[in-house]
Amino acid sequence: MLERVPLLEKSLDEYATVVEPGTIERIRELAAPLRGARVLHVNATAYGGGVAELLATHVALSRDIGLEADWQVIHGSDEFFGVTKSVHNALQGADVEWTTQSERIYLERVVENALLLEGEWDYVVIHDPQPAAIREYVRGRAVDMPGTKWIWRCHIDLTDANPTVWDFFQPFVEQYDAAVFTMPQFVPSSLSMDCIEHLPPCIDPISLKNLEMPPAFVDEICRSYGIRPNRPLIVQVSRFDPWKDPIGVIEAYRIVREEFPDAELVLAGSMATDDPEGFHYWELTNDARAGDPQIHLLSNIQQVGSIQINAFQRAADVVLQKSLREGFGLTVSEALWKGRPVVGGRAGGITLQIEDGVNGYLVDSREEAAARTIELLRNPEKADAMGAAGAEHVRRNFLSTRELEDWLRLFHRLSHTS
C-alpha cells in the first residue's frame, strides 16, 4: 500500500475560543450524517509544503468529528519529482520542454502508485498534479468501488497554464467527480466538469506555527539565529522557488536599506521531498545574498521548524510574500493572524488575503515592494493597525474550521449525485 502518514490527535473543541461563535456547533451538525464516512487524501509529500500542513490539521479534525479519514503519500524517484516540478512550473505559466519521455516517466510512476492504492473509500481526494492520473489506473480494481467519489484538489495557479502540459493533464482531471480550486480565476476555460468548487486553504490557529508566543521567547529564538530584535526586521517565509522571487526580495530589501541601513532580512523556508529544485534556488539566493550578514538565509537544514517560523513572523516589522505566481500562500494568513502587515505580490490567492491598504499592500514590482515596506517601517502605528485588521480578516475567512466546513458541504453535495 501507499505510505500512511501518522498524525497527532486534534479536538475541534480546542478551536472554540478563537473561531467565531456558532462555528463548532455548525460543523458538528454537518458532520453528523457523514459519521463513519471513509475519506482518503493522497498527495506527494508528508512535510515541507503548504499541502502537507493543511492535511495534518484537516485529516486529524476530520477524525475528531467522526469521519474515518486517512492520509497517504505516493512513492517517487528524483527523476519523477524532477518531471512533476516541471509540470508545476508549466501549469503556473513557465515555458518548459514537455516530451514523450516526460510523459513516460510520469505515467510509469503513477501506474506503480495506482497498484499500491488499497482499501474501500467513500471519498478519495487526490492533491495536485503529481498523482493526478491515478484515477485512470485504478479503474476495475477493488479500490474503485461503485459509489466512491473521486475529487481532484488543485492548489496551484492555472490562470496561465502551459497549453501543452495542461492538454496532457486535462483528460485525467475530467475523470474525477469534482475538482476543487482556490479561486475561480484558476479554473481553465477548457475544463469540462459538472462539479467545480472554489475552496481557499486555511491556517491552523492552534498549531505550533501559530500559537501565541511570549515576546521574550521570540527575542531569544531570533538571537539564537543571529537576528537582532532591536533592528527593523523584514521576513519572507516560503519555499526556495522562482515563483516566490527570493532574489527579487533581496533586491527590494537593498532599496529599503538605503533609508534603514540597520534593517535585517530573513528568508526562511523548508526543503520538500517533492521539490528537487529547492536546493538549486537556495544556492542562487545565497549567491544573491553575497555574504551580507544582515541577510539571513534559513531552512530546516538549520533546524528551522514551526516554532522558529512563528517567532520570525512575530518579530517582523513587515512580512513579505513577493510571489510572482501563488496558489494561495499560507504564510500571508499566518503573518496577518499574528498581527503583522504583509506586503505581497499581486498574484493568485494572495489577493484573497490582503485587502490592499487595509491589512497590507499588493505590489507589482520590487521597487513598489520596497516603497511600501519603507512606508510601514516609517509608520509603526499604522503597521500595527493594519496587522490588527489582518488578524480579524483571517479569523472570519481563513481558519482551518472554515475549510473543514467547506469539505463537509462538498461531501454532502457529492453524496446526492449519481
pLDDT in tens, 255-279: 999 999 999 999 998 776 667 777 8
The residue-averaged pLDDT of 221-231 equals 95
The residue-averaged pLDDT of 94-105 equals 96
Q: Which residues contact 120 (CB under 8 A, 6 or more apart)?
A: 38, 142, 143, 145
Cell numbers given for 6: 501518522
CA 114 to chain centroid, in Å, comes to 25
- For residue 293, pLDDT over 90 is answered with yes
The residue-averaged pLDDT of 152-163 equals 96
List, in order of start, the domains of the chain with CATH numbers.
Answer: 3-202+399-415 (3.40.50.2000), 215-397 (3.40.50.2000)
Residue 26 CB neighbour total at 10 angstroms = 14
CA distance 22 to 25: 5
What average pLDDT is seen over the chain? 95
| Residue at grid coordinates 499560507 | 330
**Confidence (pLDDT) at 279:** 82
**Confidence (pLDDT) at 50:** 86
Amino acid, single-letter form, for residue 32: A
The residue-averaged pLDDT of 298-306 equals 89
Most confident of 4-18, 263-277, 294-308: 4-18
**Confidence (pLDDT) at 418:** 64
**Confidence (pLDDT) at 239:** 87
What percent of the chain clears pLDDT 90, i.e. is strictly above it?
Answer: 92
